[in-house]
Structure 1
Amino acid sequence: MQKTIAPIVKWAQRKDNVFLTVEVRDLKDEKVELTTSSLKFSANAEGVNYVFEINFFAEVVVEESKWTNYGLNVRFILSKKDKTASYWTRLIKETHKLQYLQVDWTKYIDEDDEAEEGGKGLDDWDQNKFQNFDQGGADEDDEEAEEEQPKEGNVDDLEKEEEVQKNDQAPQEGEQEKQAESN
């Protein structure tokens, strides 16, 4: 029998979005159900079932929200319905604390500082690599973007290719002397 637990879920927000990160590696068989008022999640990794349900403080727009499994974690970008309202005072509707929910301090900013620090901690949150909830899979654009990204195993090949390009652009030995004489 598999053990079932709630994973660590970190969250941060901006005026228009809520960012969630499920902190478990190598999750598989994800089941994600997003409504305007809640998120249900389940997945498994290494013989453990990870399950949680969050009832949001305010409504989100399902069609504008996205998620993806990065292997190291699962990330959600949830679009707030009321983009003009102030920051949510908490993530969940209930007033009691959920043990598995934590503030993501790497992305946290005060509402007053959003204009200055709006991108803090979001450098690797490229929305093009996320899939929409209403499609059940990655966008065609997402697949093209993945194809353009170098695979981890090809880093050496890329470095060699860059070196060859530099060498092709640099003058050859005899040519450097000719250029110096003509100047």
Structure 2
Amino acid sequence: MSLTPDVLWAQRPDAVYLTIDLKEVQDIKVNLDSEKMSFYGKVGGSLYEFSLDFFAPIAKEESKWSTKRLIEFYLKKETEGSWTSLSKVKKLPWVKVDWKRWQDSDDEDEGKQNAWNLDGLGDMNFGDMGADAEYDSDDEELPDLDPAEVPLGAAGDAPQQGATGGEPKKVAETDTLD
């Protein structure tokens, strides 16, 4: 019985990047058509294979693949645009998003440097937030409670004015759950 490898995918408007997450694969057989692909390979004593129908056609002649470390594919889309999934079959548990290569439609300008370039985070120094840090309004001291106000739970035997304005009435103590 064969196993199904994890397949990672990412896309750009003009291409799909696909990685078969297997190392040291032997006896590799790949069948790549414009509408679908199939894969067969052995790792150790285990046989791995899968077949999938692409979400949309690819330009087979312009697509490439490599087996240097992992098995990686550059699949040129026949028509530019965004695919909602890699395959026409929506739920393939072995197909996962390759977040390292993913590019959203907001990031499509290849000539511009990515605004969220994480390589530059090493220049940020959060340790200098000492005495020179900006004043935060949440750091203000809170005013004392008005002495006429009695905090909840502290009323105990404190007299309060009756509803009719007459003599003070005694507030009943209540049991509290601790």
TM-score by length of 2: 0.60
Q: Could you list the structure 1 runs, at least 4 aligned residues long, displaced by more than 4 angstroms after superposition.
A: 116-120
Structure 1: how far apart are the matches of 2:44 and 2:58? 32
Answer whether contact 1:109 1:117 (CA < 8 A) is retained.
no
Partner of 2:150: none
Could you say what secondary structure the match of 1:53 adopts?
strand
Partner of 1:69: 67
Considering only CA atoms, is the larger Rg found in Structure 1 or Structure 2? 2
Q: Residue 89 in 1 paired to residue 84 in 2? A: yes
Q: Residue 79 in 1 paired to residue 76 in 2? A: yes
- 2:71 aligned partner, one-letter code: V
Give a deviation string over 1:31-72, Cα, whole Å, max 9, x none: 00011110100110101111011100000011101101023x
Give the paired residue count: 114
Give a deviation string over 1:71-126, Cα, whole Å, max 9, x none: 3x10000010002xx2111111123x111100001111211212158898xxxxxx
Structure 2: how far apart are the matches of 1:52 and 1:80? 21
Partner of 1:115: 109
1:105/1:63 CA distance change after superposition, 3 Å: same
Structure having the higher helix fraction is 1
1:119/1:20 CA distance change after superposition, 3 Å: farther
Structure 2: how far apart are the matches of 1:58 and 1:100? 19
From 18, 21, 28, the counterpart of 2:19: 21
Structure 2: how far apart are the matches of 1:66 and 1:14? 15
Partner of 2:44: 46
User: Which sections of structure 1, spanning at least 5 residues, go unmatched?
Assistant: 121-183
1:117/1:110 CA distance change after superposition, 3 Å: farther
**Identity, % of aligned pairs?**
38
Partner of 2:57: 59
TM-score by length of 1: 0.59
Superposed CA RMSD in Å reads: 1.9
Give a deviation string over 1:127-169, Cα, whole Å, max 9, x none: xxxxxxxxxxxxxxxxxxxxxxxxxxxxxxxxxxxxxxxxxxx
Q: Tell me the CA shift for residue 5 of structure 1.
A: 0.3
